[in-house]
Amino acid sequence: MFKRLTLAAAAWLCATAAIAADAWPTRPITLVVPGAAGGSTDIPARLLALKLGERLGQPVIVDNRPGAGGSIGASQVARAQPDGYTVLVGNTGSNAINYTAYKKLPYRPEDFVALTDMISFSNVLVVPQASPVRSLDDLLKAARQAPGKLSFSSAGVGQTTHLMGELLRERTGVDVVHVPYRGSAPATAAIVSGETQFMFDNLTASLVHIKAGKLHPIAVTGAQREPELPNVPTTTELGLQDFDKVGWMGFFLPAQTPPAVVRKLTDGLVAVLRDPEVARRYRELGGRPGGMPQAQFTQLVDNDRKSWGALITSRQLQLD
């Protein structure tokens, strides 16, 4: 009798969960952005949130949780109820780099299920418009003439904007100072104001300032030149090795989220990312619109975790 009751209870719970998944969403969804408001992750996330809310019939709220290389926001989602109502807008830092960069990280890869990418982008090496530096050679010469005097800003310790600067030190031997900020927006503001002397900024964050004449681009980090900056060479063209990396932002749910909810949210995200208006706006920001299949994005995240991890280990760039 007890066994029959237990099986009946289990079947009832499964049926209840299936009904709840089918009805999802019945209340607002929160997109946790592990960066500052106005930053490179925040801007495309807010563009998407409105469209996604319209498609799902529920408000989609952006919740900025900057700090600790994105780990504050990622930790919040890892601990959230796996019900589809708390979604992480993760990035290369929070969901690939951090696993090797931080020994005491409060979350692990298995705490998340990856859905799809939102946007990918190159980093661009920029200097303030008023700077006399106009090329990579100029920057290296200035750094060598004043060891320990030039500083570069980043969106936080362990972010690609930091690690690219560290790679510059490793590849060229220059003595420069890293100045981390709490997110992309304040880091970009620092380089615009001249508070720091250079930055490997996310193209999505710096392009508007480049077009406004506030920043001067020296190089881009991708394997090919960017359509928005056709006259700016790649770092590979300029002789720097292992700088052909791009960053990405994408969506993650807590592990154990019901598969039906995962599918429904992923389908909604992909549909919004294929919207011509969203794609156009992302390209205007200097990025490439996402929406790859879930299996492909999961593989991308895993590959980047391994490749960035190998780089961090080989260059001894552990951050705690």
- Per domain, the residue ranges of the chain are 27-119+245-313, 120-236
**pLDDT tens-digit readout, 72-122:** 999 999 999 999 999 999 999 899 999 999 888 999 999 999 999 999 988
Residue 178 forms beta bridges with which residues? 152
SS3 198: strand
Residues 230, 205: Cα–Cα separation, whole Å: 18
pLDDT at residue 159 is higher than 70: yes
The answer, yes or no, to whether residue 139 has pLDDT greater than 60, is yes
Domain 120-236, CATH among 3.40.190.10, 1.20.1370.20, 3.50.50.60, 3.40.50.920: 3.40.190.10
pLDDT, residue 1, reads 57
SS3 8: helix
What's the chain's average pLDDT?
90
Q: Which CATH number fits domain 27-119+245-313: 3.20.20.240, 2.40.170.20, 3.40.190.150, 3.40.1440.60?
A: 3.40.190.150
Please give the pLDDT value at position 19.
52
Please check whether the two domains, 27-119+245-313 and 120-236, share a CATH topology: yes
Give the residue, 93 or 212, on which the prediction is more confident: 212
The stretch 37-47 carries a mean pLDDT of 88
* DSSP string over 9-72: HHHHHHHHHHHHHHH--SS-EEEEESS-TTSTTHHHHHHHHHHHHHHHTS-EEEEE---GGGHH
